[in-house]
Chains A and B, each alone.
Chain A
Amino acid sequence: MNDLGELDRPGTPTSPGAWDARSAEPLSPASAIPPAPETAAGSEQSANPAAATGGERPENREAATGGERPENRDPAISGERPENREAATDGESPAEWEAVIGRQPSAKPEAVTGREPSAKSETVTGREPSARETGTDRKAAAPRRGAADPVKALIHRHRDLCEHAVDPLEIAAGLEAHGITDRTAARFRHRDVFSLAEEMYARASRDGDTPPPTPPRAPRARADWALLTLLPGALCAAAVWAVRLTDGRTRLFAAAAGALTVALALHAALRRGPLSAADRTTSGRTTTWTAWLIGYSLLGDGLLLSAVAGGPDALPTGTADGPWPVTTAPVLALALACAPAAWITHLFKGRARRRLAASRGLDDFAAAVRPLLLGAFALFLAALAALLVLCAVALDEPAAYAEVLTLGALLFLARLLTTHGFTYAPAVVLTATATVQAAALAAVFTSRLPGCGFLATPVETLVTTLGAGGVPTLACGAAALALLIHATRKLTRASAHAPPEPAR
């Protein structure tokens, strides 16, 4: 049963007074000779102001004003209580014990007179009137201490607890944790700790204004994810460079190896840092469709063009000028955009958390986060556009801005939602987009069957009016718009930015 006692223990004082106050003096190097405990108590409390401000030891407070420890001063009481406890066996009258208890607050005034080791006789004489007489005499005997209101001193001693408490029971629990029992409460003329706590709660000053909460420190950017987000871009650049330099079968191997390493690097970059999913278990749902979308941006336009023209006649050669042209600039730009995406998400999360701490209501928070979200989105688009320009110039390819920007916006928003725990909508939207693109391709090929020529008409119209990029631009643009609207509704909710549950 050794554990049950611990269950009901009222708790430990946060800083044990008996530990650091009384025993500090004998341990200090200045005092080679261990003094008697009473003198140690008296002298070190003046020398140790920290102990007096600790506030959880009743003795320290009083010692600071009266220069005296109330309990040490009255050996008659302490010496007498044990025997009274045993009144049943030793034949003393219980009534006298009651008198002793009732007298204890009144014994305080004697502190002013100072104490000798022979205080026993002095307190015994001083106790007799105070035990039986009225409170006016007691007050007269205590001109300096203001002992007529012991509760005030108690409130002062437990000031933090009283100002902090939200109801009287909290004060009661705190008092009990400091060792105050019903018998102690009797000294304050209260029936039990609860009624004492109620008085303290009613009398304590609570000046309304709680200090504004300190904004939580934004999570620091860490080197590991910062470097990892650079990895896909670097590897993709290397792969493009390798594909350009090599030829024939070697180029095939280089392309395959490049795709594999970029995929692995992307996986690693999304595993940690701000882009990591809130819930690891459901993160694999959209991988296939994301891969399709990126693959389409690499090969899809060329395939669609040649399909409309009746091809394709050959497999892609890995160059931009073959019969099935490959556009590498969008993929390279997207891979490089991992780093800005991670940083922007990091900024967004940090600022949203700060707004969360600062806002009073849910509406305030939503109003504060909405511009933040739109700003982050615009910032990402700008970064992506800049990267695309760079890539197009470096690779000497024409840049399909609309197509890449809509695709990047779609992927960024999907990831942003996923990292905040909303996995359903991104999965649906990505699946739908990929299906539309695949359907466009399939329609062109199916129209070659006899009697199905009408199927390709809308796609061909689109290609002739908007070019080959029209199909993915429209699909991704619509999807990104849908996700943006969804995000402005979901990501402005406070529950999306709740700090993670602490594991108890």
Chain B
Amino acid sequence: MRIGLLTEGGYPYVGGDARLWCDRLVRGLAQHEFDVYALSRSQDQEDEGWVPLPPNVRRVRTASLWTAEDDDVALGRRARRRFTECFGELTAVLCGAPGGSSRLGGSTGSGEVPAAGRAPGSGGASGGVSVSGGTSTPEADRFANALYGLAELARDEDGLAGALRSEAAVCTLERACRAPGAHRAAREARVPDLLAVAGYLERALRPLSLDWYEDNGLGAVDLCHAASGGTAVLPGLLARHFTGVPLLVTEYGVRLRTHYLTAPDAPPAVRSLLAAFHGRLAAEAYARAEIVTAGNTHARRWQERCGADRGKLRTVHPGMDARPFAEVGESPDCADPDTLVWVGRVEPAKDLVSLLHAFAEVRKRQPRTRLRIVGAPAGTEGAAYLGHCRTLAAQLFPDEAEGPHAAGDNPVSFEEIGGPELPAAADAYASGAVTVLSSVVEGFPISLVEAMLCGRATVSTDVGAVTEVIGGTGLVVPPRNPRALAEACVALLRDPERRARLGAAARARALELFTVEQNIEAFHGIYLEIVSRAPIRRVVLDEAGAPLPFAVPAEAHLQVRWADPSPSPRLVARGGPGWATEPPVRATTPVPAPEGAR
């Protein structure tokens, strides 16, 4: 099978997002061929180069989202009119202005609509699309039509970058913002806001101008796999539109939420329009994708919120390499029974201060306890925070000397992995009886999974995906609550039997759910499922370029039915073969209708 892997600021680049996952996926599925289509995010990223690629990566094509490449394509009058129409429609949808059709559920965040009037779960938010059943609203259709209209124009005219940068685009945007029915934030857009939005849209829509969608590009793959949401799904959507290639979207972090968190200072008009764009794009991607995978329940909830059909959603947990932890996890518990361990990157969100206060409480009841904080600071803020924590630890726990000649020793130690004492992360977990996680904010807690793989009992705060990861195999306390943390730690420290029981259960759970093998196996299954459900049919050509008759056996066009959906007796068996009653299947590559096909 040939898979087109679409990334944005990701895989082949050293230091890209999720490159480890992509690398393991590509290496793990060596029986498939991969074509990597990568969008780079910055000059630095391109300068850093690529990671070494395995041999089953057949080709890598890259494009940059950050340079203003000059294409002096001057559009003709007719093309200009098409552009204005399509772009105007696109921006009108973003502004919430009604189009020709009736307006349903398109009030993207206007202040006038009271939330009480909305049914729970229906799209009152920026996604604005219906949640149920993959049926699309007129608004979503308008967005999709405008997007594919622009894509077709870009294909006809060899690129749209110049037009998207031109004054015509800004004028169209202004007209959409001032149109009656546009919501308040858009109506208040000032000229700098218009320019910012137009510039952002131009960058976000650059994949439209690429030449990736020909028969020797994305048209030749059997399946497009977008490794993230946002701009990376655009090539997949266009490939599906132009050549009918099925699309799989994997999101380990929801792009829409990232967008909300990364641009908090922009003016309201900019935030509103761009949030609408990201919401619509995500909704369109979820609607067109065959299958959408999420990394955890949290991401999945956001996807459902943005309009993904529940039937398409699969949760594929990130996989971790279990081998480094196998030795520690399988050997009998040899740890110091009085040691607590914290492992992670030191930064304010980890709330080590809370942990230190909890540890003070623990020491009141179990005076022999020690705490090892293992981790390197993240950035300058992390370094400052680490210094702060060291000072706090020195204040809370003065050095205690056992005798007049012994050196004082602090019960809290700050260490880093890689030193002579802790050569690997597994040793850090192995050195403690209980692993503690004290974060106030957390995504997918890597250190918790590592502790589980090591078979350690854990105490963690109830944040992010912690409860989902831990299941029932560890203790969970509310965040920012040192006393609860201390109580849980003391309970575990006093009960070695319970520790052992929880640790064994945790290791079993982690080995079942969070290994690399299960991750790769899950994607392999999803690939096969998609290809069997939405096979792409191509006309086989001979050397001269003419269609080769009978190159594809007729059986290939048979729809495989695993079970008869209707319980009524089949009468056709007497009259003729079953496939004869089916409508004829087109032999050429089907170009799906731009809307309403699904």
Contacts and interface: CB of A to CB of B under 8 A. Distances in A.
Contacts of B127: 169
B462 A178 contact: no
Nearest to B446: A5
Contacts of A496: 167
Given A5-B444, A18-B354, A173-B260, A12 B348 contact: yes
Interface residues on A, range: 35 or more
A168 B167 contact: no
Interface stretch (A22-30, A290-298, A394-402): A22-30
Contact of A72 (B388, B444, B481): B481
Q: For chain A, what secondary structure do more than half of its interface residues adopt (helix, strand, loop), or is it mixed?
A: helix
Contacts of A81: 476-478, 484
A1 B446 contact: yes
Contacts of B318: 1, 4-5
Nearest to A90: B498
Q: Which of B349, B392, B491 has the most CB of A within 10 A?
A: B349
Contact of B349 (A16, A37, A75): A16
Contact of A1 (B125, B191, B516): B516
Given A7-B18, A12-B349, A361 B178 contact: yes
Contact of A167 (B170, B171, B275, B351): B275
A58 B481 CA distance: 12
Main secondary structure of the interface of B (DSSP, over half): helix
A502 to B, nearest CB: 9
Interface in A1-20: 1-13, 16-19
Contacts of A174: 260-261, 264
Contact of A362 (B17, B191, B319, B443): B191
A206 interface: yes
A157 to B, nearest CB: 13
A377 interface: no
A504 B21 contact: no
Contacts of A281: 70
B245 interface: no
B472 A202 contact: no
Interface in B426-458: 440-446
B277 to A, nearest CB: 12
B111 interface: yes
B260 A170 contact: yes
Given A23-B392, A166-B268, A503 B275 contact: no
Interface stretch (B152-160, B211-219, B249-257, B403-411): B249-257
A169 B125 contact: yes
B505 A177 contact: no
Nearest to B173: A362
Interface string B448-474: 000000000001001111010000101
A223 to B, nearest CB: 29
Instruction: Sort chain B's interface into a size bin.
Output: 35 or more
Nearest to A357: B192
B491 A22 contact: no
A153 interface: no
Interface stretch (B296-304, B567-575, B581-589): B296-304
B501 A89 contact: yes
Interface stretch (B29-37, B54-62, B114-122, B329-337): B114-122
Contact of B118 (A89, A198, A206): A198
B353 interface: yes
Given A78-B481, A88-B472, A170-B271, A9 B170 contact: no
Interface stretch (B141-149, B194-202, B525-533, B552-560): B194-202
A445 B10 CA distance: 66
B521 interface: no
Interface in A476-504: 493-496, 498-499, 501, 503-504
A1 B320 contact: yes
A210 B188 contact: yes
A4 B348 contact: no
Contacts of B284: none
Given A12-B347, A166-B109, A359-B191, A3 B268 contact: no
B475 A10 contact: no
A88 B502 CA distance: 11
B267 A213 contact: yes
A26 B392 contact: yes
A308 B261 CA distance: 75
Interface in B308-344: 318-321
Given A1-B20, A3-B18, A179-B440, A59 B480 contact: yes
A77 B488 CA distance: 12
A75 B443 contact: no
Interface in B277-308: 279, 295-296, 298-299, 301, 305
Nearest to A33: B395
A13 to B, nearest CB: 7
A279 B70 CA distance: 10
Interface stretch (A188-196, A258-266, A341-349): A188-196
Contact of B120 (A79, A195, A503): A195
A213 B43 CA distance: 31
B2 interface: no
A3 B14 CA distance: 12
A91 interface: no
Interface string B388-407: 10011001100000000000
Contacts of A72: 481-483
Most buried by B among A1, A78, A89: A1
A26 B167 contact: no
A78 B477 contact: yes
B95 interface: no
Contacts of A498: 195, 199
A361 B20 contact: no
Contacts of B65: 504
Interface in B499-551: 501-502, 505, 516, 519
A82 B396 contact: no
Contacts of A493: 167, 170
Contacts of A169: 125-127, 256-257, 260, 275, 279, 305
A6 B116 CA distance: 35
Contacts of A83: 475, 491
A306 B320 CA distance: 88
Contacts of B279: 169
A267 interface: no
A201 interface: yes
Nearest to B438: A18
Given A1-B446, A8-B299, A168 B109 contact: yes
Lowest 10 A-B CB distances belong to which pairs? A78-B484, A167-B109, A9-B443, A16-B348, A7-B253, A202-B115, A82-B475, A8-B443, A5-B444, A173-B260
Interface of A: 1-13, 16-19, 22-23, 26-27, 34, 36-38, 57-59, 71-72, 75, 77-79, 81-83, 85-89, 164, 166-170, 173-174, 176-179, 181-183, 191-192, 194-195, 198-199, 201-202, 206, 208, 210, 213, 279, 281-282, 356-357, 359-362, 364-365, 493-496, 498-499, 501, 503-504
20 contacts: A4-B20, A4-B318, A12-B441, A13-B440, A16-B385, A19-B388, A27-B391, A72-B481, A78-B478, A82-B476, A85-B472, A85-B476, A87-B472, A166-B109, A169-B126, A194-B125, A202-B116, A356-B192, A361-B191, A499-B195
Given A86-B474, A166-B268, 14 more contacts: A5-B318, A10-B443, A16-B349, A17-B480, A58-B480, A78-B483, A81-B476, A167-B108, A167-B272, A167-B275, A169-B257, A170-B271, A357-B190, A495-B169
Interface of B: 17-21, 24, 41-43, 65-66, 68, 70, 108-109, 111, 114-116, 118, 120, 124-127, 165-167, 169-171, 174, 178, 184-185, 188, 190-192, 194-195, 198-199, 203, 228, 252-254, 256-257, 260-261, 264, 267-268, 271-272, 275, 279, 295-296, 298-299, 301, 305, 318-321, 347-349, 351, 353-354, 356-357, 360-361, 385, 388, 391-392, 395-396, 440-446, 459, 462-465, 467, 472, 474-485, 487-488, 491, 498, 501-502, 505, 516, 519
